[in-house]
Amino acid sequence: MRRILIPLLLVAVAACKEEVAPLVYQAVPVETRAIAVSVRAAGNVQPDTVVEVKSKASGEILQMAVETGQDVSRGQLLVQVDQRTPRNTLAQTEAELEVAKARFANAEAQNRRSTELFKSASITEQEHETAVLAVANARAEVVRAQVAYENAKIRMDDTDVRAPIAGTIISKNVERGQVISSPTSDVGGGTVLLKMADLNLVQVRTLVDETDIGKVRAGLRASVTVDAYPNQPFTGEVLKIEPQAETAQNVTMFPVLIRIENRNGLLKPGMNADVEIQVGRRDSALAVPNAALRTQRDVNSAAQVLGIDSTRFAEMMRLADAVRDSARQAAAPARDSAKPAGAPAPAPAPGGATMTTPDGRTIALPPGVTEPQVREIFRKRFSGGTLTAQEQAVMQQLMRSMGGGRAGGGARRPGGSDYQFGGDYIVFVNRGGEIVPVHIRTGLTDLDYSEVISGLKATDSVVILPSASLVQAQEQFRQRMGSFANQGVPGMRQTTNTPTPAGAAATPARPTGGTGGPR
């Protein structure tokens, strides 16, 4: 049985030595598509404005004119408090006012007689002054009585509690017959009778994770869905972001308020809501799949998977880096104003020479400048060398020809409003039958695609490689098969063949670790 198994295992090892089929990549064309980025969170509906209704008068509630859920207009009667004490006070102050007015009239009459008598020298000057003072005191008494009467009228009016705003009664805290206290006389703030709110405007208070809060700002549109109307989304906008974070289950979140018009009254306070805040949208963005994006950390591994020679790939990266760095400097506003003294600024002549950059863009060369000279300028610039005034002028002209580093079809970020999105990546592009690395800058990104700000054209195709886990698994499989082929399958005896000199008889090798030949 052993003689049969050993050849079979040797055949298995020989099969393991065969090369694993190379990974196949997928070329995907750059496409124009809509990209929408949103932040999702859960919240609840709240009134935009809530008013606590209290009574300035103290006493027993005689009438409750409204019920919870009732719509009321401004000034409508809500609650009536016992009026007996305020009514008595009003009658008393009214009588005191009448007395004060009579005393004032009497003082004026006496003052007129005193004046006539003083003119005829019938009374002394001191007696005349006393009459004048009596008039002033009577006038002041009238004013005090008038104020007391007006205050009594106000207290009488306060027994009728009326709606301060037009809205809806959302809660009722008292009932008829209950004795309430006034906030003006109670240090506890008085009794809250009702709560009412204007439900024509409502808010949704939601908690947004701190990792997403940087994308949210006031004024962004939001879509709100409630369980009561799952097929009817409501549109609102972000009102504000509260500055104080809240922590729940070791997760830091920030409250965000979203204001919604509720003219039809469908949204009720307390409803649970699902919120989707639209933080960015491009309707016609030049986009690539996220699977095609590579970083500096994995670009070398991707090049190996694609079978690109390491020396050739290093040269590609140097040229791509040089174009990227020069384009960034040319895009800076201060770049154009920092021209060397006496440096010419040639313009490309119609019908002049052109060249194709490493990222696939065709640019016009300045008059008298050849493609090898341009490549030498790029290499010199990338290696840290100092460019002459003429070379700097050529570099500036090339950057202007490339549009300041922006690729055709890329969408400029409006006003920096989405500065938090995107980044710098590397993609592999098929240029003339050769796969080359290209630096790109991305903008908005969703789970599948990223907006291309610069670096690609609409006619390009990017390379999508297998996932990193698949590449790693296949690499480990190759290494394991190579280990089996070199060291032998565990549990199987290995044989060593010794070269036989010419003319000598071949001697069978003995199995290593054995004590004898086969039985």
Residue 482: predicted pLDDT: 58
For 181-271, where are the E strands, in sequence order?
Answer: 192-197, 201-209, 221-226, 229-241, 246-248, 251-261
At residue 249's C-alpha, the angle toward residues 247 and 253, to 5°, is 35
Q: In this predicted structure, what is the pLDDT of residue 424? A: 86
Q: What is the CA radius of gyration of the chain?
A: 45
On average, the pLDDT of the chain sits at: 77
Domain residue spans in the chain? Answer: 40-48+198-281, 54-196
pLDDT-wise least confident of 39-48, 182-191, 245-254, 430-439: 182-191
Block residue for tokens 């298995």: 12
For range 166-187, the mean pLDDT = 88
Q: What is the mean pLDDT of residues 401-408?
A: 45
What pLDDT does residue 159 have? 92
Select the more confidently predicted residue: 462 or 518: 462
Give the pLDDT mean for 476-483. 60
Phi then psi for 15, rounded to 5 degrees? -65, -35
Other C-beta atoms closer than 10 Å to the C-beta of 48 total 17
Which residues are within 8 A (CB) of 412 and not within 5 positions of it... i.e. 6 or more apart?
406, 453
The identity of residue 4, as a single letter, is I
Q: CA angle, corner 247, sides to 242 and 253, nearest 5?
A: 45
- Of 106, 101, 108, which is closest to residue 143 (Cα–Cα)? 101
User: What is the pLDDT at residue 347?
Assistant: 43
Q: How many whole angstroms separate alpha carbon 360 and alpha carbon 139?
A: 98
Most confidently predicted of 8-22, 147-161, 395-409? 147-161
3-state class (DSSP) for residue 459: coil
Question: Where does 40-48+198-281 sit in CATH, by number?
Answer: 2.40.30.170
Measured over the CA atoms of residue 119, residue 121, residue 122 and residue 123, the dihedral's sign is: positive
At residue 494, does pLDDT exceed 50? Answer: no
- In this prediction, residue 376 has a pLDDT band, given cuts at 50, 70 and 90, of confident
What are the start-end ranges of the E strands in 328-375?
354-356, 362-364
DSSP letter string over 387-445?
A: PPHHHHHHHHHHHHHTTTTPPTTPPPPGGGTTTTS--EEEEEEEETTEEEEEEEEEEEE
pLDDT, tens digit, 9 for 90 and up, residues 127-164: 889 999 999 999 999 999 999 999 999 999 999 999 99
Question: Which one of 3.30.750.24, 3.90.170.10, 3.40.1170.10, 2.40.50.100 gives the CATH number of domain 54-196?
Answer: 2.40.50.100
Q: What is d(CA 423, CA 14) in angstroms, rounded to the nearest whole number? A: 47
Of the candidate ranges 14-18, 55-59, 256-260, the one whose mean pLDDT is the lowest: 14-18
Asked if 40-48+198-281 and 54-196 have one fold, the answer is no
Q: What's residue 478's pLDDT?
A: 60
| Region class of 350: left (phi > 0), else alpha (psi between -120 and 50), else beta | beta
Residues forming beta bridges with residue 364, ordered by sequence position: 354
Q: Say which residue, 278 or 477, is predicted with more confidence.
A: 278
In sequence order, what are the residues at sequence separation of 6 or more whose Cβ sits closer than 8 angstroms to the Cβ of residue 94?
149, 152
Q: Of all helices (H) and strands (E), which one includes residue 144?
A: helix 125-157
- Assess whether pLDDT exceeds 60 at residue 13: no
Contacts of 290 (CB under 8 A, 6+ apart): 445, 447, 448, 449, 450
pLDDT recorded at residue 410: 39
Residue 259 has pLDDT above 90, yes or no: yes
What's the rounded mean pLDDT across residues 92-111? 94
Measured in degrees and rounded to the nearest 5, phi and psi for residue 367 equal -55, 135
